[in-house]
């Protein structure tokens, strides 16, 4: 399956209807309106659709229409992206900040730590987070214990383990097996 087939299958074909096509946004105008790079938007076309309703990029992963091989997005899709982004930005500040010690005591783990528990690459876990709306939500931000960089998002390890086991995915790390 080509990348075109992946996104074009569900897009309304406006080839030959320039008037209708002109009412939609091409990739450059979507990039201008959202602040995303054109490459980031194009990248979404080569991947599975994002089904998490909270993910801003999920609003843009399937173009509304096309003219030949040129994807077009509706104004409503851009508005939905901006709405989701604003909602996500609003929740960002509401997450409590926990210390490394407190996170360990509460059984909270970062994406990288979760990947280690399953013996997987962290990008695999990030795909679970991005594409599966049932994946456990972030519950806090953990400081980096003196290291530079933004706080890490952490989730309840028990909830992630339960989620994975319900899908037949078992952890490999001994400390995860004990949870």
Give 44-94 pLDDT, tens digit per residue: 888 888 877 888 888 998 899 999 889 999 999 999 999 888 887 765 456
Query: From the centroid of its chain, how far is CA 5?
Result: 22
Integer angstrom CA distances of residue 14 from 29, 91, 150: 18, 38, 44
Task: Look at 138 and 48; give whichever has higher pLDDT.
Answer: 138
Integer angstrom CA distances of residue 106 from 17, 34, 51, 143, 174: 58, 37, 29, 14, 18
Output the six-digit token pair for 96. Answer: 């409590």
Percentage with pLDDT > 70 across the chain: 89
Query: From the centroid of its chain, how far is CA 98?
Result: 23
Assign 1 a pLDDT band (cuts: 50, 70, 90).
Answer: very low
Residues with Cβ within 8 Å of 24's Cβ and at least 6 positions away in sequence, in order, are 14, 64, 65, 72, 73, 74, 75
Q: Is 95 exposed, middle or buried (0-12, 13-18, 19+ CB in 10 A)?
A: middle
CA distance 83 to 78: 9
Confirm if 155 and 137 have CB atoms less than 8 A apart: yes
Helices (H) and strands (E) in the chain, counts: 10, 7
CA distance 58 to 80: 9
Residue 173 has pLDDT above 80, yes or no: no
Confirm if 123 and 138 have CB atoms less than 8 A apart: no
Torsion of CA 94, 139, 131, 30, to 10 degrees: 10
Instruction: Give the model's pLDDT for residue 25.
Output: 92
Please report the domains of the chain, with CATH numbers, ordered by start residue. 3-92 (1.10.1660), 97-177 (1.10.10)
pLDDT digits (tens, 9 = 90+) for 91-126: 545 678 888 899 999 999 999 999 999 999 999 999
Q: Model pTM?
A: 0.53
Q: What is the mean pLDDT of residues 136-162?
A: 85
Residues with Cβ within 8 Å of 169's Cβ and at least 6 positions away in sequence, in order, are 118
């Amino acid at each position: 399956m080509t990348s075109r087939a992946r996104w074009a299958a569900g897009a309304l074909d406006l080839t030959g209807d320039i008037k209708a096509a002109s009412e939609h946004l091409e990739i450059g105008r979507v990039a201008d309106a959202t602040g995303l790079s054109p490459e980031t938007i194009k990248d979404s076309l080569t991947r599975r659709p994002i089904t998490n309703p909270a993910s801003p990029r999920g609003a843009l992963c399937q173009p509304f229409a096309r003219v030949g091989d040129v994807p077009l997005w509706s104004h409503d899709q851009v508005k939905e992206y901006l709405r989701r982004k604003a909602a996500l930005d609003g929740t960002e500040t509401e997450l409590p900040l926990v210390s490394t010690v407190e996170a360990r005591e509460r059984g909270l783990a970062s994406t990288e730590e979760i990947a280690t528990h399953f013996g997987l690459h962290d990008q695999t876990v990030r795909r679970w987070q991005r594409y599966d709306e049932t994946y456990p939500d972030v519950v806090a931000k953990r400081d980096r214990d003196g290291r530079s960089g933004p706080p890490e998002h952490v989730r309840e390890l028990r909830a992630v383990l339960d989620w994975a086991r319900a899908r037949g995915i078992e952890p490999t790390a001994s400390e995860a097996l004990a949870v």
